[in-house]
Structure 1
Amino acid sequence: MKTELDGEVGVVGGGVIGLTTAVVLAERGSRVRVWSREPVERTTSAVAGALWWPYRIAPAAAARAWALRSLDVYEELAARSGHTGVRMVEGVLGETERHEVDGWAAARLPGLRAATAEEYAGSGLWARLPLIDMSIHLPWLYQRLLAAGGSVERRAVAGLGEPETPVVVNCTGLGARTLVPDPSVRPVRGQLVVVANPGIRTWTVSTDPATGEMAYFFPHGDRLVLGGTAEDDAWSAEPDPAVAAAIVRRCAALRPEIAGARVLEHRVGLRPARDAVRLERDVLPDGRLLVHNYGHGGAGVTVAWGCAQEAARLAGR
């Protein structure tokens, strides 16, 4: 007698959520096929900075639990940073107080302390967190999936029922808006500027208390990723030169050497925001199991492994 544990699992979506979910499923013994509209290097995930820290994601309690499970994995992957793209890097969480971290993460972050005046002009915390180079990490996830027997096919779908598998996992991010359809999924536009690294080895995340404008920079070897923006319901994927100049200006206010750095690239990504992450079981019209795993806002990388483990459990794996 066949059960939902028999046969393949189809994962729709090839960003960090989809690939990580596929890896977990494949390494638990499922035969996994990923269908992705875009190649790995052109997904929204490829644009990410990407610092481990919950941002623009709800509900907070669940997101923190998923983040901590993901932290376990990233700490292990950092031991092979050249292959995985994951490093443990020190930096400043600006405008963050100790009490905001004590309730959930402080015990897991050795060396967490208040930033000194030399490290940051405002109030903030000095922390050592995973920093992920997505240009390395996404291809590594892809290869890890292949090694576990999974496959990836570049293919757009018109409906979530298209994969002819007993179980389908929906990791389509912003695409869920039309595929589910779920109009509560909306874009939060982020623009980044990549410059030649002038020698910066630590990261900083800062928010202007008066305007709410963000400034952050993440070092990835000879490149420095500068950000950023968070524009609700903005769909344009084209970089705005004025926004780019403002990003460089805000980051240079934190580290003056950024002002003269050579610009290498402009990036735009649309974060898939939702009032709450949708991570739950559903049923397709023909009775097959559908697991939703989307709506992670600006924290897809941060919660990827925790959500993948939960999605696999919901899929019966």
Structure 2
Amino acid sequence: MPQKHITILGAGITGLTTALKLNSDPSAQYHITLIASHYPGDESIDYTSPKAGADWSPQATSSPADAEMREYDKNVVKDFAVLDLEKEDAAPEGAVMGVRCQTICLDVPQHLQYLLEKVREAGVNVIRSVVDVSHGLEGVVQDAKRIAMESTYAVQDSDVFALVNCTGLGARHFVGEEEAAKLFPIRGQTITVKGEAAMDRTYDDFPPISSSIDDENELTYVIPRPGSGTTIFGGCKQVGNWDPKVDEELNGRMVERIKKWRLAEELRTGKEGDFEVVSSQVGLRPGRKGGPRVEIEGKEKVDGVWVVHSYGHAGAGYQSSVGCSEKVAKIVNELARL
């Protein structure tokens, strides 16, 4: 019996983590091909994962629907505590609420390269190619099968039983009009500076810097990239904004807040006590109305192939990558037993 073949589209944090999970799952053995037009080390507005700050923080809101998640976070997050704002000097003036905990920060470029190396070491067939999206989902399946078969004689048309779609915002080009309408960018902008900050900090819902500035979609964070000698300053969450260009005025506001609230004084090593800027970058987080889509496409195969989607993770791509890859693996394993 031929080995079942899985094709994965996309080599961002979701695609790479999914490839690694499916390949290492002890409950099933698959031949896997990873197809993407962008890989770690590439620079493109269509490749968002390298632009991330990538820390971990609880995702539960104050909504009653997230009550169970809040309890879970409280029990598993180390050193979680609500700040006593009268005693703590960690919060800026005017803060009304704050929490602290131990967290994890990543050197994003290094982490993506690490995942790609592990994927290759595991024997995944890694291909750089552009899949034709002009003929909808069925056309994508057909072209992905063609690319996989042309890359290795070990794959035949009948062997490809599943395609995992990890294309983020790219999915809007082929998932169908109704589903595509649910996808939207959440623009982010960050500054990379020299030095690694002593703490990971995030501030939200703060008073505007100026009455003439509409900054309700802005937030302030300082995320060190361990081992890289750099730190990420941010940021914003601009829903529906596709602009790939750096907004220098926004950069100025981010730096002004970080200085005002003394969030990274140890990094002010430049001339006149300023930060030493390495670069500025823009990324388009893959938003989706209704939240992430991690599920099978319909109830039937598409051109003889089961399609499993994993996209729409918005600003939580790194935080949700392991859990979503586990869900994809569970779905695929169930399909393999049919």
Q: Same fold (TM over 0.5)?
A: yes
Aligned residue identity for 1:20: T
Instruction: Specify every segment of 5 or more residues in structure 1 that has no aligned partner in the other structure, as ranges.
Output: 65-98
Aligned to 1:53: 57
Counterpart for residue 243 of structure 2: 236
TM-score (norm 1): 0.80
Where do residues 256-295 of structure 1 align in structure 2 (5 Å cutoff)? 257=265, 258=268, 260-275=274-289, 276-282=291-297, 283-295=300-312
Secondary structure (helix, strand or coil) at the match of 1:218 reads strand
Letter in 2 for 1:267: Q
Paired amino acid for 2:292: V
- Match for 1:191 among 185, 189, 192? 189
Contact preservation (8 Å) 2:161, 2:304: no
Aligned counterpart, 1:117: 88
Secondary structure of the 1:158 match is coil
**Bigger shift: residues 226-235 or 206-215:** 206-215
Alpha-carbon distance in 1 for matches of 2:225, 2:48: 18
Rounded Cα–Cα distance in structure 2 between residues aligned with 1:48 and 1:300:
9
* Residues 130-171 of structure 1 deviation map (CA, whole Å, 9 limit, x = unaligned): 111111110111111112111221111124302222210000
The structure carrying a bigger strand percent of its residues is: 1
Rg larger in 1 or in 2? 2
With 299-308 and 247-256 compared, the bigger mean Cα shift is at: 247-256
Give the secondary-structure state (helix, strand or coil) at the position aligned to 1:264: strand
Pick closer, same or farther for the CA change 1:120–1:274 going to 2, 3 Å. Answer: same
Q: In 1, distance between residues paired with 2:22 and 2:303? A: 23
Query: What TM-score, normalized to structure 2?
Result: 0.75
In structure 2, relative to structure 1, the CA distance for the partners of 1:112 and 1:55 (3 Å cut) is: closer
How much is the aligned-residue C-alpha RMSD, in angstroms? Answer: 2.5
Residues 91-131 of structure 1 deviation map (CA, whole Å, 9 limit, x = unaligned):
xxxxxxxx897422011012111235222232211111111
CA positional deviation for 1:253: 2.0
Q: Percent identity, aligned pairs only?
A: 28
Query: Which residues in structure 2 correspond to 1:174-185 (within 5 Å)?
Result: 174-181=169-176, 182-185=180-183
Structure 1 residue 179: Cα displacement: 2.3
Alignment of 1:1-317 (within 5 A): 6-28=3-25, 29-42=29-42, 43-53=47-57, 102-115=70-83, 117-121=88-92, 122=95, 123-159=97-133, 160-161=140-141, 162-164=143-145, 165-181=160-176, 182-197=180-195, 200-211=197-208, 212=216, 213-221=218-226, 222-255=229-262, 257=265, 258=268, 260-275=274-289, 276-282=291-297, 283-316=300-333
Asked if the contact 1:56–1:299 (Cα under 8 Å) also holds between the matched residues in 2, the reply is: no
Distance in 1 separating the partners of 2:252 and 2:230: 18
**TM-superposed deviation, 1:173:** 0.2
Higher normalized contact order (CA 8 Å, seq sep 6+, divided by chain length): 1
